[in-house]
Structure 1
Amino acid sequence: METPNPKINNSAFRRLSGQQGLLVGLGLGIVLAIGGMTVFSRFGNQRAAAPTQSAPAAGAKNAALPVKVQQVGTSTTEESTNFVGALEAQQKVTLQPQIQGRIENILVSSGQRVQKGTPIASLSLDQTQANVASSIAAANAAQAGLKTAQAQLQQAQAQRTKVAANLQLQQTQLNRTQQLVSEGALATQQLDIARNNVQAAIADLQAADKEVAAANAGIRQAQANIRQAQAGTAAAQVNVNLKRVVSPINGIVGEFPVKIGDYVSTGQTITTIIQNDALDLNLSVPSNRLKQLRVGLPVQLVEPTTQQVIGTGAINYISPTVSSNQQSILSKARFNNSPGRLRDGQYVQARIIWNRQPGILIPTVAISRIGGQSFVFVTENTTVNDKPQQIVHQRLVRLGDIQGTNYQVLEGLKPGETIVTSGILKLREGTPIQPQS
């Protein structure tokens, strides 16, 4: 047996030992890597085949997390588009004086609800009231003149009646005289006298007729004077009425840019009356929605913070032209504002609902996002240590539009499944849970 040579130096031995150690280390690493890949492959195959088997290990180490759950059901989903538009009062009137003057009194306050015909403000009457009094006096004088003319007519008619009776008498006397003269009982001279008396009576009757005609003309003039005086009175009264500004509609009084004592002219704004009971929402709808846009489409007003619906209306007007600059179509939707929560000129968020159909809605709080994708945690019943236990599985879903506080689910969930709606940040694949009421 050959014995080792004691002359081999220590440095050579150390190099040999180091090389052997490196070889041993590399061999051990390769063995461990192959073993780990085998274990991982078996675990992966086992999990893919039976995902519920991963729950016991997690359940053995972690207590069940209390969470809220919700069963997925079929709901009505909506295809909609959000817009921002301005509300416009259906009736809005700017009050302006029709005559110039100084504001004497403001009879209502801003924000007050008024009825049609309610006095809003009054201007100083100055000379206008005096003109009314003068016109009334002229009308009274015309009435007195008419009475005088009527009395004169009655007197003229009475005189004519008397003259007409005298003419008849003279005519009778003439006929009698003619007979007596023809019989020779009277002289011819008496016949001439009788004829002269008849002629005089005829002349008196003609004069009386002229007096009656003059009296009738006086009455017509007096009546014309009355009409003129009444027209003057009405005109003066109109000026008085113009000094009082009244509301032409029912509504709410706006701000007053003027105050008592200000001198205003025609066309100057005193205030506005706005009727907020019904409001129109002006919307600019993209022209690519023209095929879907139609009168009667439901429109919802949405509270921007809570996304709660605060009003429901419908499209009632679609412009026949397209805006060349924005390539949009002006549309209007009318809303009933009986609660009085909305105001003219208010900008609001609105949602046009193009279509409604059955689908799945889930709360937005149930969604978790990883790498730009959306996931939910779906519950599953299993057993841990021979005891029933619920665990969760993370599932990829494809979402549609948001409706209020819910998302539409287009793919990934079916009705009847149960999802977690709270504490999702604490959950992982296979985490045991304890559903809470």
Structure 2
Amino acid sequence: MKKMHLYLLLFLVSGMVSCDSKKETATSEIIAYPVLTLKSEKATLSVEYPTTLEGLQTVEIRSKVDGYIEEVFIEEGSLVHTGQKLFKIDANRFVQDVNQRKAAVLAVEAALETASIQVLRTQSLVDKKIVNSFELTTAKNVERVKKAELNQAKAALSDAQSQLAFTQIVSPISGIVGRLPLKKGSLVSSTSETALTTIANTKEVYAHFSLSQKQLNSFLNQYPGKSMAEKLSNIPQVNLRTADGKDYGSKGKIQSLSGVISLETGSANFRALFPNPDGLLWSGASATLQLPTTIDEAVKVPKKAVFEMQGNHYVYTVEAKNTVHLTEIKVLPIATEQHYVVQYGLAPGDMIITEGIGNLKDGMQIQPNPVSTK
């Protein structure tokens, strides 16, 4: 009886050991993960800069005279051409001033004519020695005074005519009309801070962006050329992404670099020019300028293989005996849509895990499953 109990106890113990062995085997099962062997390759990245758009010409329209707006000939957003009427200022007092100046000119002209006749008469009397030369000198002086008065009167008339002409406000350029803050009947002044409107020529649009003094040299050193003009000509065409996240269809070209670094910001200003035949770009709008940069020997890693922790970037590399290792990497601030470019932490030939990284632990053993680099 005691032997039977002993056999039963041994059977139970062996069963428990067998179950524990099965559990340990199940727990230590090696799982396959997709891995990628890194290589060095040529990569084209886009460096992005915030930019502000500006029309080829942007002109504020202001009144040069004081008065009430009598007519508004345009609408917001309309296209106007050089010389087209925009506003009409009440001109009554300017018309009256012109008429007064014309009358003054006529009066002085008559006085001058009289003075000239007097000079001729006096000259004749002097020739006949009826009067002395003092009388002739006096007559000539009166004539010179009247000529000066006539010049003054004509200048005053010209000024009055200019003031009258300023009541008809025309467009100095062809472009798109901006906001119209003042309507018909509004009182305008030549010293007012508020412009009547803005006309923007947006057939071509400038995109302004800036680089810090530290960035400037490294940026320009990428491009061949002995002079600044040569370097600018060798910069590739740039792309533009509008504020709504859409890519603008036409490419632009960087045209100029300011020759002075701003004392306030410590940066230099660049200007790129984009064609805008359909008027899709607006003066004053914000956008993002994308400048392509080529790296000849870049080590790229898929973004899905990278995770961020406390501001640092990490990947899981596959080491000896297929164990994984948590590796910190440094990536460039520029990237493609699907890849980061590694600055340091990885090298060509290293193997990283591309998927399922949320289930991994440092030192864990896996079964590598190579994936295509495409």
TM-score calculated relative to the size of structure 2: 0.61
Is 1:313 equivalent to 2:253 in the alignment? yes
User: Retained in 2: the 8 A contact 1:360–1:408?
Assistant: no
1:333 alignment partner, one of 257, 267, 271: 271
Is 1:128 equivalent to 2:62 in the alignment? no
Gaps of 5+ in 1: 1-7, 45-73, 164-204, 376-397, 414-427, 432-437
User: Retained in 2: the 8 A contact 1:105–1:123?
Assistant: yes
2:198 aligns to what? 272
User: Retained in 2: the 8 A contact 1:116–1:250?
Assistant: yes
User: Retained in 2: the 8 A contact 1:302–1:309?
Assistant: no
2:287 alignment partner, one of 348, 356, 365: 348
Displacement of 1:309 in angstroms is: 6.5
Displacement of 1:131 in angstroms is: 1.4
Which residue identity does 1:369 align to in structure 2?
K
User: Retained in 1: the 8 A contact 2:239–2:247?
Assistant: no
2:5 aligns to what? 15
Displacement of 1:130 in angstroms is: 1.0
> Cα deviations across residues 109-158 of structure 1 (Å, max 9, x unaligned)?
32234445544322112322111111112212333333344445455556
Which residue identity does 1:243 align to in structure 2?
T
Question: Which segment is superposed worse, 206-215 or 125-134?
Answer: 206-215
In structure 2, the CA distance between the partners of 1:348 and 1:310, relative to structure 1 (3 Å rule), is farther
1:56 aligns to what? none
1:369 aligns to what? 304
1:283 alignment partner, one of 204, 209, 228: 209
Question: C-alpha separation between the residues in 1 aligned to 2:303 and 2:126?
Answer: 116
2:183 aligns to what? 259
1:185-200, aligned counterparts within 5 Å?
none
Q: Compare the two structures and name the one with the higher helix fraction.
A: 1
> Cα deviations across residues 69-90 of structure 1 (Å, max 9, x unaligned)?
xxxxx99633543232323446
In structure 2, the CA distance between the partners of 1:222 and 1:80, relative to structure 1 (3 Å rule), is same
In structure 2, the CA distance between the partners of 1:125 and 1:17, relative to structure 1 (3 Å rule), is same
Displacement of 1:91 in angstroms is: 4.0
Is 1:230 equivalent to 2:165 in the alignment? no
Displacement of 1:255 in angstroms is: 1.1
Displacement of 1:335 in angstroms is: 1.9
1:191 aligns to what? none
* RMSD (Å) for aligned C-alpha atoms: 4.8
> Cα deviations across residues 306-326 of structure 1 (Å, max 9, x unaligned)?
5567542326226525657xx
> Cα deviations across residues 376-407 of structure 1 (Å, max 9, x unaligned)?
xxxxxxxxxxxxxxxxxxxxxx997544x564
Question: C-alpha separation between the residues in 2 aligned to 1:259 and 1:130?
Answer: 25
Question: C-alpha separation between the residues in 2 aligned to 1:27 and 1:95?
Answer: 94
1:55 aligns to what? none
1:377-396, aligned counterparts within 5 Å?
none
User: Retained in 1: the 8 A contact 2:59–2:199?
Assistant: yes
Query: SS at 1:135's partner residue?
Result: helix
User: Retained in 2: the 8 A contact 1:128–1:239?
Assistant: yes
In structure 2, the CA distance between the partners of 1:360 and 1:307, relative to structure 1 (3 Å rule), is farther
2:50 alignment partner, one of 80, 84, 94: 84
Displacement of 1:292 in angstroms is: 1.0
Is 1:139 equivalent to 2:105 in the alignment? yes
In structure 2, the CA distance between the partners of 1:87 and 1:214, relative to structure 1 (3 Å rule), is same
Question: C-alpha separation between the residues in 2 aligned to 1:33 and 1:152?
Answer: 135
Question: C-alpha separation between the residues in 2 aligned to 1:260 and 1:368?
Answer: 59
TM-score calculated relative to the size of structure 1: 0.54
1:112 aligns to what? 78
1:302 aligns to what? 241
Which residue identity does 1:313 align to in structure 2?
K
Question: Which segment is superposed worse, 99-108 or 312-321?
Answer: 312-321
In structure 2, the CA distance between the partners of 1:361 and 1:140, relative to structure 1 (3 Å rule), is farther
In structure 2, the CA distance between the partners of 1:91 and 1:33, relative to structure 1 (3 Å rule), is closer
Displacement of 1:106 in angstroms is: 1.9
Query: SS at 1:266's partner residue?
Result: coil
Question: C-alpha separation between the residues in 1 aligned to 2:188 and 2:7?
Answer: 114
Which residue identity does 2:286 align to in structure 1?
Y
Question: C-alpha separation between the residues in 2 aligned to 1:212 and 1:251?
Answer: 63
Gaps of 5+ in 2: 33-39, 221-227, 308-313, 317-328, 350-367
1:242 aligns to what? 166
Question: C-alpha separation between the residues in 1 aligned to 2:298 and 2:54?
Answer: 36
What is the aligned-residue identity percentage? 20
Question: C-alpha separation between the residues in 1 aligned to 2:136 and 2:48?
Answer: 87
Displacement of 1:347 in angstroms is: 1.4
Residue correspondences, number: 307
Which residue identity does 2:177 align to in structure 1?
V
User: Retained in 2: the 8 A contact 1:322–1:330?
Assistant: no
User: Retained in 2: the 8 A contact 1:253–1:274?
Assistant: yes
Question: C-alpha separation between the residues in 2 aligned to 1:135 and 1:330?
Answer: 54
